[in-house]
Protein backbone atom coordinates (compact mmCIF):
# COMPACT_ATOMS: atom_id res chain seq x y z
CA UNK A 1 0.00 0.00 0.00
CA UNK A 2 1.30 3.47 -0.90
CA UNK A 3 1.91 5.54 2.21
CA UNK A 4 3.01 9.09 2.87
CA UNK A 5 6.74 9.71 3.21
CA UNK A 6 8.30 10.94 6.39
CA UNK A 7 10.65 13.85 5.70
CA UNK A 8 13.18 14.70 8.42
CA UNK A 9 14.31 18.31 8.64
CA UNK A 10 16.61 19.96 11.14
CA UNK A 11 20.00 21.53 11.66
CA UNK A 12 23.26 19.82 10.70
CA UNK A 13 24.27 17.24 13.25
CA UNK A 14 20.84 16.69 14.76
CA UNK A 15 20.81 13.04 13.68
CA UNK A 16 18.46 13.06 10.67
CA UNK A 17 20.31 10.27 8.89
CA UNK A 18 20.73 8.03 11.93
CA UNK A 19 17.12 8.46 13.05
CA UNK A 20 15.91 8.16 9.45
CA UNK A 21 17.60 4.82 8.87
CA UNK A 22 16.23 3.45 12.12
CA UNK A 23 12.74 4.74 11.34
CA UNK A 24 12.76 3.28 7.82
CA UNK A 25 13.66 -0.10 9.31
CA UNK A 26 10.82 0.12 11.82
CA UNK A 27 8.21 1.14 9.24
CA UNK A 28 9.54 -1.10 6.53
CA UNK A 29 10.01 1.97 4.32
CA UNK A 30 12.81 2.82 1.92
CA UNK A 31 15.43 5.27 3.17
CA UNK A 32 16.83 8.13 1.15
CA UNK A 33 19.29 10.84 2.12
CA UNK A 34 19.08 13.84 -0.20
CA UNK A 35 22.74 14.81 0.32
CA UNK A 36 23.79 11.25 -0.46
CA UNK A 37 21.65 11.29 -3.61
CA UNK A 38 23.30 14.54 -4.74
CA UNK A 39 26.78 13.15 -4.05
CA UNK A 40 26.04 10.01 -6.07
CA UNK A 41 24.62 11.95 -8.99
CA UNK A 42 27.52 14.41 -9.06
CA UNK A 43 30.10 11.81 -8.16
CA UNK A 44 31.56 14.30 -5.66
CA UNK A 45 31.32 14.92 -1.94
CA UNK A 46 29.21 17.82 -0.65
CA UNK A 47 32.45 19.55 0.41
CA UNK A 48 33.86 19.26 -3.12
CA UNK A 49 30.63 20.53 -4.68
CA UNK A 50 30.76 23.60 -2.41
CA UNK A 51 34.46 24.07 -3.02
CA UNK A 52 34.36 23.79 -6.81
CA UNK A 53 30.96 25.21 -7.72
CA UNK A 54 29.84 27.14 -4.63
CA UNK A 55 26.75 27.11 -2.44
CA UNK A 56 24.29 28.39 -5.05
CA UNK A 57 25.09 25.48 -7.32
CA UNK A 58 24.60 23.05 -4.43
CA UNK A 59 21.23 24.68 -3.62
CA UNK A 60 20.12 24.22 -7.23
CA UNK A 61 21.00 20.50 -7.01
CA UNK A 62 19.19 20.26 -3.69
CA UNK A 63 16.11 21.87 -5.23
CA UNK A 64 16.15 19.47 -8.16
CA UNK A 65 16.49 16.52 -5.77
CA UNK A 66 13.49 17.70 -3.69
CA UNK A 67 11.46 17.93 -6.85
CA UNK A 68 12.50 14.43 -7.93
CA UNK A 69 11.57 12.78 -4.64
CA UNK A 70 8.22 14.57 -4.40
CA UNK A 71 6.51 11.72 -6.25
CA UNK A 72 7.96 8.98 -4.09
CA UNK A 73 5.88 7.04 -1.56
CA UNK A 74 6.83 4.84 1.40
CA UNK A 75 10.12 6.65 1.97
CA UNK A 76 11.84 8.10 4.96
CA UNK A 77 13.73 11.06 3.51
CA UNK A 78 16.58 12.76 5.30
CA UNK A 79 17.29 16.32 4.12
CA UNK A 80 20.23 18.71 4.43
CA UNK A 81 19.94 21.36 7.13
CA UNK A 82 19.50 24.16 4.61
CA UNK A 83 16.60 22.63 2.70
CA UNK A 84 14.19 25.04 4.38
CA UNK A 85 15.92 28.05 2.80
CA UNK A 86 13.80 27.58 -0.33
CA UNK A 87 10.06 27.29 0.24
CA UNK A 88 9.59 25.44 -3.03
CA UNK A 89 11.61 22.55 -1.58
CA UNK A 90 9.14 22.25 1.26
CA UNK A 91 6.13 22.51 -1.04
CA UNK A 92 7.54 19.58 -3.01
CA UNK A 93 8.49 17.54 0.02
CA UNK A 94 5.04 18.08 1.55
CA UNK A 95 3.29 16.82 -1.58
CA UNK A 96 3.53 13.24 -0.38
CA UNK A 97 5.23 13.75 2.92
CA UNK A 98 4.84 14.48 6.60
CA UNK A 99 7.53 16.89 7.76
CA UNK A 100 9.21 16.04 11.04
CA UNK A 101 11.57 18.56 12.63
CA UNK A 102 14.29 17.16 14.86
CA UNK A 103 14.90 20.04 17.20
CA UNK A 104 18.23 20.46 18.97
CA UNK A 105 19.97 23.12 21.02
CA UNK A 106 23.18 24.74 19.72
CA UNK A 107 25.04 23.05 22.58
CA UNK A 108 23.89 19.61 21.50
CA UNK A 109 24.65 20.35 17.84
CA UNK A 110 28.11 21.58 18.77
CA UNK A 111 28.68 18.46 20.83
CA UNK A 112 27.76 16.30 17.83
CA UNK A 113 29.84 18.29 15.34
CA UNK A 114 32.87 19.46 17.27
CA UNK A 115 35.20 17.01 15.49
CA UNK A 116 33.41 17.13 12.16
CA UNK A 117 35.11 18.69 9.16
CA UNK A 118 32.67 17.67 6.45
CA UNK A 119 30.28 20.63 6.78
CA UNK A 120 31.43 23.40 4.42
CA UNK A 121 29.33 26.03 6.18
CA UNK A 122 31.16 25.42 9.46
CA UNK A 123 34.65 25.03 8.05
CA UNK A 124 37.37 27.44 9.20
CA UNK A 125 34.86 29.33 11.34
CA UNK A 126 34.15 29.70 15.02
CA UNK A 127 31.99 26.60 15.05
CA UNK A 128 29.83 27.28 18.06
CA UNK A 129 29.13 30.86 17.03
CA UNK A 130 28.29 29.85 13.46
CA UNK A 131 25.94 27.15 14.73
CA UNK A 132 24.19 29.70 16.99
CA UNK A 133 23.92 32.30 14.20
CA UNK A 134 22.64 29.89 11.57
CA UNK A 135 20.21 28.21 13.94
CA UNK A 136 18.82 31.61 14.90
CA UNK A 137 18.25 32.41 11.23
CA UNK A 138 16.62 29.06 10.52
CA UNK A 139 14.71 27.99 13.63
CA UNK A 140 11.50 29.83 12.70
CA UNK A 141 11.46 28.18 9.30
CA UNK A 142 11.97 24.69 10.72
CA UNK A 143 9.06 25.30 13.08
CA UNK A 144 6.87 26.88 10.43
CA UNK A 145 7.26 24.01 7.98
CA UNK A 146 7.07 21.13 10.46
CA UNK A 147 3.96 19.00 10.87
CA UNK A 148 5.51 17.46 13.98
CA UNK A 149 8.41 18.59 16.18
CA UNK A 150 10.57 16.19 18.18
CA UNK A 151 13.11 17.38 20.69
CA UNK A 152 16.21 15.22 20.29
CA UNK A 153 17.79 16.22 23.60
CA UNK A 154 17.20 13.29 25.89
CA UNK A 155 16.36 10.63 23.37
CA UNK A 156 18.48 8.10 21.55
CA UNK A 157 17.92 7.72 17.77
CA UNK A 158 16.20 4.42 18.56
CA UNK A 159 13.69 6.03 20.94
CA UNK A 160 13.12 8.94 18.58
CA UNK A 161 12.40 6.55 15.71
CA UNK A 162 9.99 4.61 17.92
CA UNK A 163 8.12 7.78 18.91
CA UNK A 164 7.95 9.14 15.37
CA UNK A 165 6.61 5.81 14.16
CA UNK A 166 3.91 5.86 16.84
CA UNK A 167 2.69 9.36 15.90
CA UNK A 168 2.88 8.58 12.20
CA UNK A 169 0.79 5.45 12.62
CA UNK A 170 -1.88 7.26 14.60
CA UNK A 171 -2.21 10.37 12.46
CA UNK A 172 -0.77 9.80 9.02
CA UNK A 173 -0.86 6.12 8.21
CA UNK A 174 -3.19 6.40 5.28
CA UNK A 175 -2.95 6.61 1.52
- Rounded distance between C-alpha atoms, residue 41 and residue 29, angstroms: 22
Beta carbon of residue 46, minimum distance to ligand S3P (angstroms, whole number)? 5
Residue closer to ligand S3P by CB (options 12, 90) is 12
Q: Which of 6, 32, 37, 46 binds ligand S3P (CB under 6 A)?
A: 46
Q: Which of 3, 4, 119, 165 binds ligand S3P (CB under 6 A)?
A: 119
User: Is residue 15 near ligand S3P by the rule CB under 6 A?
Assistant: no
Beta carbon of residue 152, minimum distance to ligand S3P (angstroms, whole number)? 13
Binding characters for ligand S3P, 63-102, by CB under 6 A (x = yes): -----------------xxx--------------------
User: Is residue 12 near ligand S3P by the rule CB under 6 A?
Assistant: yes
**In 3D, which of 106, 123, 99 has the Cα closest to residue 171?**
99
- Answer whether 78's CB lies under 8 Å from 34's CB: yes
User: Is residue 157 near ligand S3P by the rule CB under 6 A?
Assistant: no
Beta carbon of residue 65, minimum distance to ligand S3P (angstroms, whole number)? 10
* DSSP per residue, the chain: ----EEEEE-STTS-HHHHHHHHHHHHT-EEEEHHHHHHHHHTS-HHHHHHHH-HHHHHHHHHHHHHHHTT--SEEEE--TTGGGSHHHHHHHHHSEEEEEEE--HHHHHHHHTT----GGGTTS-HHHHHHHHHHHHHHHHHHH-SEEEE-TT--HHHHHHHHHHHHHHHT---
Residue closer to ligand S3P by CB (options 3, 84) is 84
Beta carbon of residue 13, minimum distance to ligand S3P (angstroms, whole number)? 6
Residue closer to ligand S3P by CB (options 3, 38) is 38
Residues that bind ligand S3P (CB under 6 A): 12, 16, 35, 46, 80-82, 119-121
Amino acid sequence: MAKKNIVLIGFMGCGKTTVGKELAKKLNFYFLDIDYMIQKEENKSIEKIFEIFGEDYFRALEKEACYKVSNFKNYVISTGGGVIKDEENIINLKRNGVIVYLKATPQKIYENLKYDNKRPLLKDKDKFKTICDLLKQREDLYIKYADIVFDIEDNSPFVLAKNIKMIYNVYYNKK
